[in-house]
Amino acid sequence: MVHLATERTTLFIKYIHMYELFATFCILVNGVPECTTYSDNEKQVYKDLKTCEERAEYRFYETADGFLRYDIPFESIIIGCKGGEES
């Protein structure tokens, strides 16, 4: 019985969809955008999309504020969530 419960738990865990943050920054270098995509340096994983999106929003404003404060020229900042059914 214990073995069967463990197997069920293992199967259940395989189907939990997790999300993580990513960021794409397009920095202007001599007026030309150079875009790079990064994985989140905090390596945090979220169990649901809503929580991930809330964190992405916070990180977007935090990052944009830093770019503006230090006068870093940019074309775009995209911060979002990846994963879900793809992970």
Supply the mean pLDDT for the chain: 84
Could you give the angle at the alpha carbon of 39 between the alpha carbons of 37 and 32, nearest 5°?
A: 20
Instruction: Name residues whose C-beta falls within 8 Å of residue 60's C-beta, 6 or more positions apart in sequence.
Output: 77, 79
Asked if pLDDT for residue 46 goes beyond 90, the answer is yes
Asked if pLDDT for residue 86 goes beyond 70, the answer is no
Asked if pLDDT for residue 14 goes beyond 70, the answer is no
Listed by start position, the domains of the chain span 17-86
Q: Which residue has the higher pLDDT, 29 or 5?
A: 29
pTM more than 0.95: no
pLDDT score, position 37: 97
| Amino acid symbol at 13 | I
Query: How many C-beta atoms lie closer than 10 Å to residue 81's C-beta?
Result: 20
Query: How many C-beta atoms lie closer than 10 Å to residue 87's C-beta?
Result: 11
The β-bridge partners of 23 are: 38, 79
**Which backbone phi and psi does 42 adopt, to 5 degrees?**
-85, -10
